């Protein structure tokens, strides 16, 4: 086993021992799908264009997982490690710092995508949801969105000074973004001005991209927007990330 594989395995075990990480990245999405499916069912409704609630909203639930994983869990974990000196000790090993970052991103990315896959399975097998488009397209968009928000988490980690600030900023950012994304409240129910402002959010673009892929009406705008955010977040993280 290579050093990178051993590091990835160690980080995976560490992450899976964290109850918050396991719940929000792995269990929350399928749990939320079950709850919402039991409440609203999936009978066709005119307000959802003739499809059921689960069909209309299932993939949008992914945005909740992605936002919490990137904007809350990543900064709290990494800033906490920075304050305790764990990251500084890692730099003393023969492995290059980029190996730690790559392994950490890979572990979080895979766990979050497994949670999203379980959520889709719940919707399809439990409530009869059926995509008009491509499941592969949905998973590709989910993979891109997850990577974008993990990069945003690293960028946030790079600029916040303490764990307390990371917790505050993460929670202040994540809930408005979720509400305005269309993942919980359909954008059509919000005032026109709020809808227009919400389009500037990367989380809204992710939901639009996911729902388009699911409904068979994919668009390039969300892909371009998310790719731009990924590039900007990567630049910030690379420029300002601190190990101690």
What pLDDT score does 92 carry?
67
Mean pLDDT per 10-residue interval, the chain, length 244 residues: 84 90 91 93 86 91 93 92 82 75 93 95 94 92 96 94 90 90 80 86 94 91 96 93 82
- Give the CA count within 13 Å in the CB-facing half-sphere of 89: 5
Asked whether 206 and 66 are in contact (CB, 8 A), the reply is yes
Q: In the chain, how many domains are there?
A: 1
State the pTM of this model.
Answer: 0.93
Q: Which domain holds residue 231?
A: 3-240
What pLDDT score does 236 carry?
94
What pLDDT score does 202 carry?
94
Task: List the one residue out of 129, 78, 106 whose CA is nearest residue 241.
Answer: 78
Asked whether 87 and 157 are in contact (CB, 8 A), the reply is no
CA distances to 83, 99, 124 from 66, rounded to whole Å, are 25, 23, 20
């Amino acid at each position: 086993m290579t050093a990178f594989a051993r590091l990835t395995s160690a980080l995976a075990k560490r992450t899976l021992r964290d109850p918050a990480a396991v719940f929000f990245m792995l269990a929350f999405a399928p749990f939320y799908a079950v709850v919402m499916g039991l409440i609203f069912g999936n009978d066709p409704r005119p307000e959802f264009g003739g499809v059921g609630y689960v069909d209309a909203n299932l993939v949008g639930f992914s945005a909740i997982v992605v936002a919490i994983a990137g904007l809350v869990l990543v900064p709290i974990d990494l800033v906490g490690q920075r304050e305790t000196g764990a990251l500084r000790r890692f730099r003393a090993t023969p492995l290059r710092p980029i190996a730690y970052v790559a392994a950490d991103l890979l572990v979080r990315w895979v766990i979050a995508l497994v949670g999203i896959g379980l959520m889709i399975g719940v919707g399809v097998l439990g409530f009869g949801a059926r995509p008009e488009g491509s499941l592969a397209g949905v998973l590709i968009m989910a993979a891109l969105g997850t990577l974008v928000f993990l990069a945003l988490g690293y960028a946030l980690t790079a600029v916040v000074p303490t764990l307390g600030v990371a917790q505050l900023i993460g929670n202040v950012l994540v809930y408005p973004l979720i509400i305005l994304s269309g993942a919980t409240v359909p954008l059509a129910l919000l005032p026109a001005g709020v809808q227009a402002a919400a389009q500037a959010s990367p989380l809204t673009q992710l939901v639009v991209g996911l729902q388009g892929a699911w409904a068979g009406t994919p668009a390039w705008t969300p892909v371009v927007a998310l790719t731009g955010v990924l590039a900007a977040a990567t630049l910030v993280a690379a420029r300002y990330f601190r190990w101690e």
